[in-house]
Amino acid sequence: MTRLGSLGARLYRGEVSYDFIGNRRTWYVVSAVLLLVSVSSLLLLRLTLGIEFRGGAEFRVQGSDVSVDTVRNVVDDTVKTEIVVQQVGQNAVRAQTEALKSAEVEDIRLALAERFGLERADVSTQFIGPSWGRDISIKALRALLFFLLGVVVFLSLYFEWKMALAAMVALLHDLVITAGLYSLIGFEVTPATVIGFLTILGYSLYDTVVVFDKVRENTQGLTGGSRTTYSGAVNLAVNQTLVRSINTSIIALLPIAAILFAGVVLLGAGPLKDLALALFIGVAVGAYSSIFIAPAVLAQLKEREPAMQALARRVSSRKAGTATTPAGRRGSVDAEASDSAASDEEVLAPAGVSPTRPPQGRPAPSTGRSQQQRSQQRKSGSRNRSGGRKKR
């Protein structure tokens, strides 16, 4: 724990860092595989919808010695089905099952009548419609659409539209994978599951917003300098918020795991396991995407901007300059000359944040920059220098 404790400090200063952006292809592949598995599972296995969505059969038994537990046992012994049993009024019990074949309905009906010594006619059966009807789902989807529109507008105003887009990509990624893994595990979809999915929706965005807020802070006034590329700044932000992301995810996952355990192992049925499973997958995937996917997508989008490309050229030329010339010397001529040498790889794996890179020299003395940019530069510069010192 102490190691993890000081890890935060080293991550913050960039002494320890993982090149999330540079290694993005690896993680894109991981996500692609997950998505492929999810989509095929959704297509082949499909989500099994519960009684609440599909409706089913209802049995009503009237009699003085009819009890909920006995009815449940009788139905359980006769046909394998999901079942909801409840007492109705003083001496009647109703059992709702999945939609059954008429032979199965007949079996249950006879079994119930026999068990309680009743006539077949005393056990009434009928088809029940879904309590979570189509209209609820349609309205929920419409609401969702409006919400996503609202989020895109908010994130575009608060951040910028590219961040909104990246957040949406991550969100979609999370939802598809969660639904896919859920169907793969084969739990039935109940209203509790839907509640779980909706929670993830909020959680995934929340997580991404926290990371992007740091990205925005790190990239303010970035184009005025030549110290790090946009990707580099994003990478630093992800590393700096890594401890937060891990801590938050663990803290969120602990109660979910406990409920999942209770739902699956202790109870074996009921809404707890559905909700907890959806949440568990979703929170884990959400944390993953906010670290590995959303920032990478954002960096990719931003690196297409001419200003960011120019910045990348400046950074790589300066790096080339410091590599070929004695430490501390840099020249703008060198920078121009090495433009062509700036390969894509170097742009995406920026200096100063990766431990594998040699420590860089002092940042350029700034001229004609705003006070804010200068202080930003100084701050991150000192961080990197201290990192460099330590490594040596």
Partner 1 sequence: MAATPPSRPGRTLTILAVLSALVFAAIWFAAPDRVGDNRLSAAQKYQPRLGLDLEGGTSVILTPRVPKGEEGSVTREALDQAVSIIRNRVDSFGVAESETTTAGKNIVISIPGKQDDSILATVQQTAELRFRPVLLSAAGVPTPTASPTPAPSPSGSGTASPSPSPPGVSTPSSSPSTSTQNRVLPKGLRAAASASPSPSASTPPSGDATPAPSATPPAPNTAPGDPALSAALQQRFAELDCTDPEAVRQALRQEPGADDPGNPLATCDEDGAEKLLLGPAEVLGTDVDTATASLQTNSQGTATGGWVVQLDFTSDGKKKFGNITRRLFAETGDRNRFAIVLDGLVVSAPTTNAVITNGQAEISGDFTQADATELANVLKYGALPLTFDPGEVQEISATLGGDQLSAGLAAGLIGLLLVVIYSLLYYRGLGLVTIASLVVAATITYGMVVLLGWQLGFRLSLAGIAGLIVAIGITADSFVVYFERIRDEVRDGRPLRVAVETGWHRARRTILAADFVSFLAAVVLYLLSVGGVRGFAFTLGLTTLIDVAVVFLFTKPLVSLLARTKFFGQGHRFSGLAADRLGTPRRTLTSRTPRRRDVATAPKEA
Least separation, in Å, of the C-beta of 386 and partner 1?
A: 5
CB of 388 to partner 1, least distance (A): 10
Distance separating alpha carbons of residues 238 and 234, to the nearest angstrom: 6
Nearer Cβ to partner 1 (289/338): 289
What is the distance between the alpha carbons of residues 148 and 146, in angstroms, rounded to a whole number?
Answer: 5
Q: Longest Cα pair distance anywhere in the chain, in angstroms?
A: 100
Q: Identify which of residues 168 and 320 has a Cβ nearer to partner 1 in the complex.
A: 168
Q: Which is nearer to partner 1, 44 or 265 (CB)?
A: 265
Q: Encoding tokens for residue 188?
A: 């039935």
d(CA 105, CA 276): 32
- The least CB distance from residue 325 to partner 1, in Å, is 22
Q: Please, are residues 162 and 188 in contact by the beta-carbon 8 Å criterion?
A: no
Q: Rounded to an integer, what distance in angstroms lies between the CA atom of residue 202 and that of residue 151?
A: 10
Closer residue to partner 1, CB minimum distance, 41 or 81: 81
Nearer to partner 1, 3 or 304 (CB): 3
Which C-beta is closer to partner 1: that of 26 or that of 382? Answer: 382
Structure token pair of residue 177: 């994978």
The whole-angstrom separation of Cα 256 and Cα 190 is: 17
Q: Min. distance of Cβ 146 from partner 1 in angstroms?
A: 5
Q: How far is the CB of 4 from partner 1 (least distance, A)?
A: 7
Q: How far, in Å, are 31, 63, 76, 343 from residue 128 at the CA level?
A: 41, 22, 19, 65
Nearest distance from C-beta of residue 28 to partner 1, angstroms: 25
Give residue for tokens 């010339």.
325
Structure tokens, 315: 């950074």
How far is residue 20's CA from residue 24's CA, in Å, rounded to a whole number? 6
Take residue 4 and report the two structure tokens written for it.
Answer: 């993890």
